Amino acid sequence: MESWLQQRLSRISLRDLHFYPIVFILVFTVVFSSLLIYDEYRGFTKTVHIDMPSGAEENVTSLHPHTLNKAFRGRLIKIVLEISTLALILFGFIVGVSKIANAMIAKELETFFKFFESAHSDIKQINPDELYFTESKKMAEYANEMAMTLQEQKETLQRLNSSLEERVQLKTKALQQKNDALEEEQKFSQGLLESHKQFIRYAIHETHTPLSVIMANIELFTMNEGRNRYLAKIEAAVKNIFSIYDDLSYLVKKDQIDYPKKAIDLGEYVEKRLEFFDEVAQFSNLTFHYTRPEYPAWIQFNETKLQRVIDNNLTNAIKYTKNGETIRAGVESDTQESRFWVESKSQKIHDEQKIFEAYYRERKKKDGFGLGLSLVKAICDEDNVEIKIFSNRDATRFEYVFRKDGGENTSS
């Protein structure tokens, strides 16, 4: 019962609040009038019997009963009409007052409702002079203050939004201009880079023919006239140029062609490269000492990449080994891996990681661009070849480990 009453009260409207009191007043007026009429009727009959004089009792008795009842009924009807009229007048007055009060409340509530309904789009203040109740006027003052605050905040936000939009447009325009300029610079840089690569390709292509002619004529002269000290120097210099040529050729082509792998006897291949650079070592007053493997050291590797690894290490050893010393090189092999190493007496390497960066050279006075070991490091990273460096005041050793299991040394 209590729950039903709470639910009913929670859904009550102003119209219901106006309807139910009127019904209650009407029922109360009818009940009150009925009780009053009933009480008046009983009082009237008693009064008639008690207040009748003794001499008049004979006269009353002599009257006809129908006449007496008619007189009583007329008197009672008169009293009932008077009470009913008074009750209706009272009911109409109460209903009228209630109607007026409810209409005033409804009008003020409608004013507040319209105010809050239009607050999100168009804020219009409430005129306190149009309200009747003091409480409503006080509420109107608070509502107007709130409306003014909201209006000020709304205008501030609009100005801020307009300013932000303008700034965003300016920033976007400036960024677009920068992007356009950057695209133009990028296109220009790409054009320069492509031209540079194309020039290197042409230069490498045109260099190979004269180098081959020089080497062929040196060999022919040696076969016909024998060894010549001056030609030996020329041959050593040409072989250095050939090594640089091979490095540049690989750098230009490595992203454009595939380098397939094949079975290579590492010990035999290193020995051939030592023979190729023997003239260069002798020209620098150096000698090679090669340690052959006990068994063939077969690896799966690309020959072009392997040549770059071996040649760069041999030329670096020739370049940095102290005058008159011996460059020791060797190959070792077992069932799991094959190792190529080069060791010589040279100055200690101070930064063993930085020497693999492009254009870095610890000895600034030495010739070269500092690209050789960077190229070697890139090839070893691509094919999972482990690099080990041992360097102190007495000697420097570079060692390269080629694993034989199928999951390693995969060429890119």
DSSP 179: H
DSSP E strand boundaries for 202-352: 262-265, 287-291, 298-301, 326-333, 337-344
**Of residues 14 and 352, which shows the higher confidence score?**
352
365 has a pLDDT exceeding 90: no
Q: What pLDDT, on a 0 to 100 scale, did the predictor assign at position 268?
A: 93
**Of residues 7 and 10, which shows the higher confidence score?**
7
When the candidates are 2.60.120.260, 3.40.50.10420, 3.30.565.10, 1.20.1250.20, the CATH number that belongs to 259-403 is 3.30.565.10
351 has a pLDDT exceeding 80: no
**Of residues 59 and 342, which shows the higher confidence score?**
342
Cα–Cα distance between 123 and 126 in angstroms, integer? 10
**Of residues 36 and 1, which shows the higher confidence score?**
36
Across the chain, mean pLDDT equals 76
pLDDT digits 0-9 by tens, 310-335:
988 998 898 888 888 999 999 999 88
Arithmetic mean of pLDDT, 180-207: 74
Q: What sign does the CA torsion over 259, 260, 261, 262 have?
A: negative
Angle of CA points 94, 100, 101, to nearest 5°: 90
Cα–Cα distance between 294 and 365 in angstroms, integer? 40
pLDDT digits 0-9 by tens, 137-172:
777 777 777 777 877 787 888 888 888 888 888 888
Band (pLDDT 50/70/90 cuts) for residue 180 is confident
Q: What pLDDT, on a 0 to 100 scale, did the predictor assign at position 408?
A: 47
Q: What pLDDT, on a 0 to 100 scale, did the predictor assign at position 68?
A: 56
**R_g over Cα of the chain:** 59
Side chain identity, residue 251: L
Q: What pLDDT, on a 0 to 100 scale, did the predictor assign at position 367?
A: 53
Task: State the span(s) of the chain assigned CATH 3.30.565.10.
Answer: 259-403
DSSP 385: -
DSSP 128: G
pTM of the model: 0.49
Q: What pLDDT, on a 0 to 100 scale, did the predictor assign at position 362?
A: 62
